[in-house]
Amino acid sequence: MQISLIATGKTNAKWIEEGIENYSKRMSRYGKFKYVETPNLKSKFSKADSKTVMKEEAVLQAKFLKGVDHLILLDERGKIYDSIEFSKHIEKLQVRGFRHVAFLIGGPYGFDPSIREQANATWALGPLTFPHHLIRIFAVEQIYRAQTLLKGEPYHHP
């Protein structure tokens, strides 16, 4: 099963890029994994209202969702899993035979309704609100952790 993590906009933080690269390389042991960042729209729509920005982000996001047969939005209002529950849910998706599961991180204003309508699920990485740039590294690490749990490897310490 292909797993993609699609992040809205680019990050300039070198340490976040390095962390994502680190976990992405580790993920190659477990199957296909791809990390994608959509182009930044900040300068183009800096004076636009939030609905306009989300609508324009949705146009870009849709381009990266082609071929995805199960879409999970990462959103602060989503369902919260602990790491073990998260891994079991990933396993269920594998068993169900999905070819391409994508996790989508929205921009600072969240998701346009057109993207929410496409989603199969909405998950949160906890009850706290995080900057969308930090969620990138948290999400890729949790996807990696889920894979190690499913393989019975000693990365996760309960």
Angle between the 14-27 and 132-150 helix axes, to the nearest 10 degrees? 20
In whole angstroms, give the CA distance from residue 126 to residue 77. Answer: 9
What pLDDT sits at residue 50? 86
Q: How far is CA 70 from CA 42, 45, 89, 147, in A?
A: 28, 30, 12, 18
Mean pLDDT of the chain: 93
Q: Note the Cα 39 to chain centre separation in Å.
A: 16
2-7 sheet: strands from edge to edge: 33-37, 2-7, 100-105, 70-80, 121-124
DSSP structural state of residue 11: -
Query: Quick one: what percent of the chain has pLDDT higher than 70?
Result: 99
Rounded to two decimals, the pTM is: 0.93
Higher pLDDT, 43 or 132: 132
Task: Name which of 54-58, 63-67, 129-133 the model is least confident about.
Answer: 129-133
C-beta neighbour count of 10 within 10 angstroms: 12
Q: Does domain 2-39+49-150 have CATH number 3.40.1280.10?
A: yes
Residue pLDDT, tens place only, 6-42? 999 999 899 999 999 999 999 999 999 999 999 887 6
The two three-digit tokens of residue 145, written as one number: 């952790």
Asked whether the beta carbons of 17 and 148 are under 8 A apart, the reply is no
> What pLDDT, on a 0 to 100 scale, did the predictor assign at position 39?
87
User: Is it the case that residue 157 has pLDDT exceeding 90?
Assistant: no
pLDDT at residue 82 greater than cutoff 90? yes
Give the per-residue pLDDT at 27: 94
pLDDT on residue 42: 67
Q: How far apart are CA 35 and CA 38, in angstroms?
A: 10
How high is the pLDDT of residue 43?
64
Reduced to 3 states (helix: H, G, I; strand: E, B; else coil), residue 42 is coil
